[in-house]
């Protein structure tokens, strides 16, 4: 499924919180002693960054684990600030069973500031949008293979904090200048 939306105001993005997932600390070398500390840091960062009225597009993998953890997923969703829209990640199949969180299976195409932005859980290598924001790959070696106009919004890559789309655009614009992409329509039309 592909959802197409037009956004006239900014929004936030993030992916791969993996709330309550103890092993993600080891797998991705997250700088926390346990899941409780990780959850606290991510929760506080989210609340300090996102207001109740802000829009947040979450790019997948909210919670991993037992039925009890999925029940907590609903509490987290309800307590965290922002108006949230979820893309289903590869670990989110159980959200429908245990929560009222609705997810989009597939991608979201956003028109924002004249740009066509592709939002997805897993990187899509063949795309014709101005930029793509994805998750799924955490901080592994696949990050080195991302095209210059792809941004990984996984929590390890954004200091465990949701990132504003304008900051993503600026990062991509700076990358483009570094590799000599000054003539692209993307760089001419953005902030």
The reported pLDDT for the residue numbered 71 is 79
63-84 pLDDT, tens digit per residue, is: 887 777 777 889 999 999 999 9
Determine the Cα–Cα distance for residues 173 and 146; give it in Å rounded to an integer: 15
- Given a cut of 70, is residue 181 above it in pLDDT? no
The reported pLDDT for the residue numbered 188 is 45
Q: Of the candidates 45, 92, 87, which has an alpha carbon nearest to the alpha carbon of residue 65?
A: 92
Residue range 117-133: average pLDDT? Answer: 96
28-58 pLDDT, tens digit per residue, is: 999 999 999 999 999 999 999 999 999 999 9
Most confident of 50-54, 67-71, 98-102, 172-176: 50-54
DSSP, collapsed to helix, strand or coil, labels residue 54 as coil
Which residue has tokens 């899509």?
124
Three-state secondary structure of 57-102? EECCCCECCCHHHHHHHHHHHHHCCCEEEEECCCCCCCHHHHCCCC
Task: At 145, list the tokens.
Answer: 């293979």
Domain segments of the chain as ranges? 2-164
Task: Tell me the residue ranges of DSSP E strands in the chain.
Answer: 2-6, 12-14, 55-58, 83-87, 103-104, 107-112, 115-119, 131-134, 150-152, 163-164
**Is the pLDDT higher at 7 or at 182?**
7
Determine the Cα–Cα distance for residues 132 and 72; give it in Å rounded to an integer: 30
108-120 pLDDT, tens digit per residue, is: 999 999 999 999 9
Name the CATH code of domain 2-164 (choices 1.10.10.10, 3.60.21.10, 1.10.2020.10, 2.80.10.50).
Answer: 3.60.21.10
Determine the Cα–Cα distance for residues 126 and 130; give it in Å rounded to an integer: 12
Which residues are registered as beta bridge partners of 118? 109, 132
């Amino acid at each position: 499924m592909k959802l197409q939306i037009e956004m006239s105001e900014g929004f936030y993005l993030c992916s791969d919180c993996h709330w309550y997932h103890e092993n993600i600390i080891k797998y991705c070398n997250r700088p926390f002693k346990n899941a409780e500390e990780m959850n606290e840091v991510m929760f506080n960062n989210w609340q300090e960054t996102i207001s109740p009225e802000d829009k947040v597009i979450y790019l997948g993998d909210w919670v991993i684990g037992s039925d009890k953890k999925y029940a907590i997923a609903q509490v987290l969703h309800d307590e965290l600030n922002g108006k949230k829209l979820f893309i289903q990640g590869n670990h989110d199949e159980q959200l429908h069973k245990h929560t009222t969180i609705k997810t989009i299976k597939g991608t979201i195409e956003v028109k924002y500031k004249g740009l066509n932005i592709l939002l997805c859980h897993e990187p899509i290598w063949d795309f014709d949008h101005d930029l793509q924001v994805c998750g799924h790959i955490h901080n592994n070696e696949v990050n080195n293979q991302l095209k210059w106009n792809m941004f990984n919004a996984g929590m390890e890559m954004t200091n465990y904090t949701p990132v504003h789309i304008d900051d993503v655009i600026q990062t991509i614009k700076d990358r483009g200048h570094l590799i000599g992409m000054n003539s692209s329509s993307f760089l001419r039309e953005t902030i």
